[in-house]
Chain A
Amino acid sequence: MAAVMPLSNLLDARRVWRGRAEPLPAGEQPTGWAALDAVLPSGGWPAAALSEILLPLDGVGELQLVLPTLARLSQGARAVVLVAPPYLPCVAGWRQHGVDMRRIEIVSATEADVLWATEQCLRSGSCAAVLAWPRQADDRALRRLQVAADGGRALAFAFRDRQHLSNASPAALRLELEARPQARVWVRKCRGGALPAQPVALPRALH
């Protein structure tokens, strides 16, 4: 087999073909950030799946990223649940982002119960989105959340420290937030599409 065959011949003969990911159905859960929707394969959050948001610090726009989605979901029939948030959600501030606070359920749980409570909420099927701040979540725990989100048709958001970026994660989408020199979002993993090479700017408004 010394003869070198050009690849184009094989392609033309249909003996070799290029793999391509199945295009995802678009636009079910837009993030509310047009620039981010444009680079995400499903045109928004992966529906019924876990999205991981990795932060360097608190207060760098992590809620701003999800608040347009929460505002939209809080108009729907299903509840939005916050499991053990690190601070108190400020009612006036959330309302300035258009969130109906009557649809937001806050669950206080100890560190040991956070994953259990998150999984219960996701699995129940009566929550549109569940936000959690797990501190001791390993690969298996996140996989359980991913499965529960799929079973309950809910959006799951896990906010974690940026140090976890080097660990593999079963989340369908991983976003990393950057505060300096300006607020930007890196897509670090997205199921069903290629990773965008450039970060997406996150314009920060006060309200």
Chain B
Amino acid sequence: MLWACIALPQLALDGVLRRRADAGPLVLVAGTGHARSIVAANAAAREAGLRVGQRLSAAQALLAQFEALPYQPERVDQWHRFLAAVAYRYSAEVSLLPHAIVLEVSRSLNLFGSWPRLESLLRADLDALGFRHRISAAPTPHAAHVLAGVADGQAVLTDEQLRHALQRIPLAQSRLPAAAAEALPGMGIRTLGQLLALPRDGLRRRFGAELLLALDRLTGAAPAGLEAYRPPDRFDLRIELTHEVEAIGALVFPLRRMTSDLSAYLAGRDGGVQRFTLQLEHREGHTEVKVGLLAPEREAGMLFELARARLEQVQLPQPVIAMRLLARDLPAFVPAGRDLFDERPANALPIEQLRERLRARLGDRAVHQLGSTTDPRPELAQKVTAHDDGWQEPSPRPTWLFERPIPLRGAAPRILAGPERLETGWWDGGEVCRDYYVVETAQGQRGWAFCAPGERDGWMLHGWFA
């Protein structure tokens, strides 16, 4: 077993900062009234002297201009779960620990390569999503959690190395039950190595079974006892904008974040999305923008481009204060394969993406194919479909067909072929009884025209042999 731990030291702050383009001083505050104090501060704020734990009033005395946002625990929880969904891409065993995610990766290494490679993949994902992180690996999840708390990038791959690595960990960073971690240094026990060397009976008498269980979980002598994370079957992401937005252009930056989050989430589930909804929330009510695709997709750039094209057609009735992305049905995603001997240029846009791009601007029905039906009536002989049976019509058919026949005026045309009598449709009210001819007009155009059976008059033109 090998567990990776992703510690998220600034989850609350990153969740807020990642959707901002500017980087002015910003703090998160918790508490009420005069007791409001800082729980997180970004780099610009720390530079100005603001610290975590400081009263908001003290901070205001230090710095005139900074942004103070309320700390929202439920939002932090939402990001925590979102990142677990992203990590689910790399392992089927993912669990949540306080401010951290652990995932079992020993089997994932077969697919992704060695641990350093997997580690760099995880880091690339988290960097792209804008979350600061510390990553470590150890044979037990709790040990990985402890190691990630001590330093970034530690990898302990065997039990032997683990015993060795735990020796020097100070008790203050060992994440053991608080009562024991506080009392033991007073007894001269300062590192995990010293603690593990003590007789277990004595520890049980003094600190109860809780400490022993925690130690056993750390070393792997007891099962980790973690609840496995399961990604939800729907994606729901809502972000509040910092100010009221009246122009669509200002929604593009948050939209890019949201669609790339959706893409990361879909990659974690190995799924795609075929329909999603953007809700633009106003002070009263909201505007819905529906985005539909022909086939499930999950590529971030494509989702963004399509959502943007739909968004740009929207007229805002009121300013937008928040945006929400909802995806309910998440079907399986089948990536498009590419042939080794593909004749397309290397940077070609796949035809599916081209279709989506055209549909996004020209309308859902803008791109179609025609196929034939078994009906002999020219008006009904073809329809919009992807299916085509390949039936060969023995009589001449034009290459351009009119949607409805038009009268052929002027001098009587020269007849080149015909007649071909079509007499059908009496069963459904659309009865047709016509003699079709191939004709040539005085200008040299070749047409497909018909007149009433047996007559050579009252020509109706139905298509061109172009």
Contacts and interface: CB of A to CB of B under 8 A. Distances in A.
A54 B464 CA distance: 17
Given A79-B351, A179-B443, A109 B362 contact: yes
A104 B369 contact: yes
Given A61-B466, A183-B444, A67 B399 contact: yes
B381 A91 contact: yes
B137 to A, nearest CB: 42
Contact of B369 (A67, A102, A125): A102
A160 interface: no
A6 interface: no
Contact of B354 (A62, A95, A116, A124): A124
Given A89-B370, A113-B361, A58 B445 contact: yes
A57 interface: yes
Q: How large is the interface on B (under 10, 10 to 19, 20 to 34, 35 or more residues)?
A: 35 or more
B393 A106 contact: no
A204 interface: yes
Contacts of B371: 91, 101-102
A110 B362 CA distance: 8
Contacts of B381: 91-92
B364 to A, nearest CB: 11
B42 interface: no
Given A76-B343, A180-B443, A87 B369 contact: no
Interface in A107-131: 107-110, 113, 116-117, 120-121, 123-127
B392 interface: yes
Contacts of A174: none
B366 A95 contact: no
Interface stretch (B67-75, B237-245, B382-390): B382-390
Nearest to A117: B358
A153 B344 CA distance: 8
B446 A59 contact: yes
A59 B465 contact: yes
B400 interface: yes
Contacts of B396: 93, 96, 206-207
Most A C-beta atoms less than 10 A away, residue of B358, B393, B403, B416: B358
A86 interface: yes
A101 B349 contact: no
A90 B417 contact: no
Interface of A: 56-64, 67, 76-79, 85-97, 100-102, 104-110, 113, 116-117, 120-121, 123-127, 152-153, 179-180, 182-183, 204, 206-207
23 contacts: A57-B445, A63-B400, A78-B351, A87-B400, A88-B382, A88-B400, A89-B400, A92-B381, A93-B463, A105-B351, A105-B367, A105-B368, A109-B362, A113-B361, A117-B362, A120-B354, A124-B348, A125-B348, A125-B349, A126-B344, A179-B444, A180-B443, A206-B438
